[in-house]
Amino acid sequence: MTGSALPHLLRPRALRPGDLVVIAALSGPLPAAYEPNVEQTVTVLERMGFRVRRAPLLDVGRRRWWSAATPAEIAGELNGLLRDPEVRAIVASDGGQTVLGYLDLIDVEAVKADPKPILGYSDISLLHLVLYAHTGLVGFHADMAVPGFGGHWQSAPAARRAELEKLYSRLLTDTEAIGALPASPSWECWRPGRVEGRLIGGVINRIVLAQATPYALPLERFDGAVLFWEELGGLASYVWSYLQVLRHSGILDRIAGMVVGVPHDISGLEPGASPDLREIVLDVLGDRDIPVLGNVEIGHAGPNLPMPVGIRVGLDAQQRTLSLLEPAVGPHARTGPS
């Protein structure tokens, strides 16, 4: 594949008020303690104007090892949702450690036939990367039920919650570009510069794992891209190592810019520790002169700003701005009378 052979961008169809959104266990199980988070998510999505249903595997206490079910069962349910014309969007309940087990079981033709927004981060990053690689689907690296809509959103200030609700609603329903994402004081310019490019990314360990499978993004897909990533847990040295993998693979030589999420629960990155995340990133980048915007709310530190994988963005690290230059969704699905 050459740089000129990038696949057509496959935008999910825009949602209308009253459309059905399904919350599904695409990875980990639902412990009883988090059932209220799912109920809160239903409330948030209904307030945005959607009907909401839970998929059957999203059942308190249901589990198989560290997963909600076997990979084949989860893939079967996901494929059913992808094929169901009534389902207009899928929201992951949580992340976990399961998506690698069913990358080879996803009904890619169903995705192409009826593209739908899939929302989630962490382990769900793998779905976004693989479906973007093989269908061009815009994936929504965005909040999900347990840690997001029903978690971080509930403890956020009311004004921030209202701002995010409006943003997510526009993201799913508006076929016009959203423009600048709402910035916050945490954003930092780690290396100045201004670029435009397609958003590609997710949790960094999943980017590395995805590239080790047959479902990897061709390296050419990173040409001129704005790479976004975040990480949860582990050690600061792990982050350095993942970045080194991206360097060795040639990805860091191809990208035009980088957006780094607020690190969450990473040992060795406590306030005042050395090195800090900025030092780690700039150490691996070396003399690659690309803009880097740090400490952006994407991923586990939440509430999340949505990152639609595949969409062109404008990044100005010095001005600390990140703008969505294209809509994340396309024309509405053609359906009969409701």
Q: Which residues are catalytic?
A: 122, 230, 300
Token pair listed for 172: 């799913």
Closest C-alpha to 143, from 163, 119, 123: 119
By CB atoms closer than 10 A (0-12, 13-18, 19+), residue 66 is exposed
- Locate the DSSP E strands across the chain: 20-24, 51-54, 87-92, 118-120, 139-141, 179-180, 188-191, 194-203, 226-230, 257-261, 292-296, 307-309, 312-316, 321-324
CA nearest to 306, candidates 175, 161, 119, 47: 119
Answer yes or no: are the C-beta atoms of 25 and 132 closer than 8 Å. Answer: no
Cα–Cα dist 62/80, whole Å: 19
Contact 307, 141 (CB under 8 A): yes
* Gap between the Cα atoms of 251 and 240, Å rounded: 15
The answer to whether 230 touches 300, Cβ cutoff 8 Å, is: yes
Query: Where are the extended beta strands (E) located within 161-289?
Result: 179-180, 188-191, 194-203, 226-230, 257-261
